[in-house]
Amino acid sequence: MELSGTVVPMATPIDADGQGVDEETLEEFTRTLIDGGVHGLFPGSSIGEFSSLSTREHDTIVRTVSSVADGDTTVLAGCCGTSIQEVRAKMETAADAGADAAVVVAPYYLNTTQRGLSRFFTSLAEESPLPVVLYNIPALTGNELAVETVATLAEHDAIVGLKDTSGDLIYQHRVVEATPESFAVFNGTTATAIPSLDVGIDGLIAGPANVFPAALTELYEAHRRGDDRTATRLARELVLPLVSTYQNIPTAAAIKHLVKLDGLDLGEPLPPLAPLSRDERNRLSACHRQVTERFDADIVE
């Protein structure tokens, strides 16, 4: 299992009547991302609208992606929820499907303490059939995993990494310093990709990789080989324009529109998200066009 590099928090294709997962399109989408060279796939992510999916739909997504990946590309299966029983059931499904690890978000809706967060994740880790990657996204959960809590949880054999979407570079630096070298730290805020790699994180869980998998993979690879010019150009001329354009648009809806511009229709976002307005679609389309005109076809297709 590779716990580094560029991982795609995959958007979820929904069928034309909005009633379920479009499995055929999901298979094609998964192959497209793998062909783009990404290091990992993350079905059941926030961009994948995990909180709007039924248990059956979640199972379908994880099984489909794992089947297409077929052990050649790391699969980090989203196993998110606030119920221990629900998360355990998702973990069992993911393990049975052949996923490599389970990504578990901090519980949301009810505010809790660091002791409560530790209890939640430790309870899951004790019986998990898969290695666990913690997921810190306090803006949406209302519960931040403190550095000290992450460091303590990292001592558990089954807890192997963290996805941090706080956007806080100091936090990421402190986690890197406080955890073993074997503990993988991923940045989930793509706008800070370069500085986060500079502070020593292991990889990017990057929404724009749904649209430009080869480019986001190259950004990571360029940084790793010391090609700062290429990495900085990709961040400045591709990542930042894209992220700034959809900053005030629901990310899942924006990503689906951007992928559709490349010829693959992932359907509309699920409620409670709304379809994009004409102005939103136009802004995203203009940005996509500008980005693709700046780069060679092999890096933006």
CA 190 to CA 167: how far, in whole Å?
A: 9
> Annotated catalytic, 135?
yes
> Annotated catalytic, 163?
yes
The tokens for 205 are 């869980």
Domain that holds residue 166: 5-226
| Residue 258 lies inside a defined structural domain of this protein | no
| Residue 248 lies inside a defined structural domain of this protein | no
At 16 the pLDDT is 85
Residues of the chain where predicted confidence (pLDDT) is lower than 50: none
Residue 166, domain CATH:
3.20.20.70
| Residue 242 lies inside a defined structural domain of this protein | no
| Residue 195 lies inside a defined structural domain of this protein | yes
pTM: 0.96
Q: Which of 90, 135, 246, 256 is catalytic?
A: 135
| Residue 75 lies inside a defined structural domain of this protein | yes
Angle at 112 between CA 111 and CA 117, to 5 degrees: 130
CA 11 to CA 252: how far, in whole Å?
A: 7
State the binding site for pyruvate: 205
pLDDT in tens, 105-120: 999 999 999 999 999 9
| Residue 263 lies inside a defined structural domain of this protein | no
CA 158 to CA 101: how far, in whole Å?
A: 10
Contact 172, 143 (CB under 8 A): no
| Residue 112 lies inside a defined structural domain of this protein | yes
State the binding site: 205
How many distinct structural domains can be found in the chain?
1
Beta strand 74-78 with 159-164: parallel, antiparallel or unpaired? unpaired
At 181 the pLDDT is 95
At 299 the pLDDT is 79
Residue 59 Cα distances to 87, 92, 96, 97, 224, angstroms: 12, 10, 10, 9, 35
CA 153 to CA 12: how far, in whole Å?
A: 30
| Residue 51 lies inside a defined structural domain of this protein | yes
Q: Which of 108, 109, 163, 246 is catalytic?
A: 163
Residue 86 Cα distances to 55, 89, 124, 186, angstroms: 9, 5, 11, 25
